[in-house]
């Protein structure tokens, strides 16, 4: 029994000795190549990050769009890492051509399997290159409003007036009607007054309630005038620009100011019957953006 145990121990020691000899031979034969490959890989990762940061900094100094500079930085990082990968594999004597063919076949199969995400990436590249909007612009797309916070290859992120984060897949943006009003939105309001009221006084009262844009904003002045006619009355129209993230707050404040201005001027709005007809008109209180 003791002899069998001893033989088993001898065989295990012999096996371990063979493994150690094989490991020693591998380290002697490929140790420096492995060490060199790791050094090249680490240096390549550092260089890729450095090149990406320099690319973004160069774009910022030249005043390029932040989305384009970020995209260019990512492209530079990927290219540098690809070169590093080729050099690292070459150190081990691995041929690159079969890997390229394999990558092509895998890309073809992957394209069929993940058409949805890939279409988002393709749409993202289209948005970045064509620049229908940039970070900081106010856009309306597919009935959604918001200020553009970030544009990536997969999706575009908007910020709503209440601070909500709105994420839209890029494929839902490309090919759609995009309204870009930059940093502002336009408010359109309709006010119905009786036909027996002083129209000029009513226009003056409404105009006095309109916010005056600052000269540095470059926005056109508010517009007030006769928009149309309805049963027993006249419809006044008012249009003015507000910052995108203060749309509803300023709209409500201006509406209240209009009511107070009409009351001070002794002007009456359309009676209830006429107002009901006015409320049924779909275009009398519509909001939209104009580029």
Contact 244, 204 (CB under 8 A): no
Confidence of residue 113 (pLDDT cuts 50, 70, 90): very low
What's the whole-number mean pLDDT along residues 68-91? 78
The DSSP symbol for 72 reads: H
The C-alpha angle with vertex 165 and arms to 161 and 167, in degrees rounded to 5, equals 125
Distance CA 23, CA 139 (A): 63
Both tokens assigned to 180: 């870009």
Pick 70 or 95 by higher pLDDT: 70
Percent over 90 (pLDDT), the chain: 24
Both tokens assigned to 121: 């990436």
The mean predicted confidence, pLDDT, of the chain is 78
pLDDT at 267 over 50: yes
pLDDT at 194 over 80: yes
Confidence of residue 5 (pLDDT cuts 50, 70, 90): low
Antiparallel, parallel or unpaired: β 178-182 and 223-230: unpaired
Confidence of residue 61 (pLDDT cuts 50, 70, 90): confident
The C-alpha angle with vertex 160 and arms to 121 and 217, in degrees rounded to 5, equals 100
Tell if the pTM clears 0.75, that is, is over it. Answer: no
Pick 242 or 68 by higher pLDDT: 242
pLDDT for 224 equals 94
In sequence order, what are the beta bridge partners of 140?
145, 179
Most confident by average pLDDT, 106-120, 207-221, 243-257? 243-257
Distance CA 202, CA 105 (A): 72
pLDDT for 286 equals 40
Could you give the domains of the chain? Answer: 2-113 (1.10.287.1260), 133-181 (2.30.30.60), 184-279 (3.30.70.100)
């Amino acid at each position: 029994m003791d002899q069998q145990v001893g033989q088993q121990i001898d065989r295990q020691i012999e096996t371990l000795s063979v493994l150690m000899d094989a490991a020693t031979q591998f380290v002697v034969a490929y140790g420096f190549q492995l060490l060199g490959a790791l050094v090249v890989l680490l240096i390549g990762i550092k260089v890729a990050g450095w090149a990406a940061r320099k690319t973004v900094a160069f774009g910022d100094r030249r005043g390029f769009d932040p989305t384009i500079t970020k995209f260019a930085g990512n492209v530079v990082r990927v290219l540098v890492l690809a070169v590093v990968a080729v050099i690292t594999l070459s150190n081990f004597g691995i041929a690159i051509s079969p890997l390229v063919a394999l990558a092509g076949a895998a890309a073809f199969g992957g394209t069929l399997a993940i058409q949805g995400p890939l279409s988002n990436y393709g749409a993202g590249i289209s948005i970045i290159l064509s620049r229908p909007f940039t970070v900081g612009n106010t856009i309306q797309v597919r009935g959604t409003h918001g200020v553009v916070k970030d544009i990536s290859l997969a999706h575009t992120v908007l910020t709503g007036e209440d601070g909500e984060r709105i994420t839209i897949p890029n494929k839902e943006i490309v090919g759609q009607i995009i309204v870009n009003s930059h940093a502002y939105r336009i408010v359109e309001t309709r006010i119905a007054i009786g036909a027996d009221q002083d129209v000029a006084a009513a226009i003056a009262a409404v105009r006095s309630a309109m916010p005056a844009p600052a000269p540095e904003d470059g926005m056109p002045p508010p517009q007030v005038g006769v928009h149309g006619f309805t049963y027993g009355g006249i419809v006044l129209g008012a249009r003015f620009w507000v910052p995108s993230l203060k749309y509803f707050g300023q709209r409500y404040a201006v509406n209240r100011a209009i009511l107070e201005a009409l009351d001070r001027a002794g002007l009456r709005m359309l009676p209830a019957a006429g107002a009901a007809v006015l409320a049924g008109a779909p275009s009398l209180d519509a909001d939209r953006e104009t580029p």
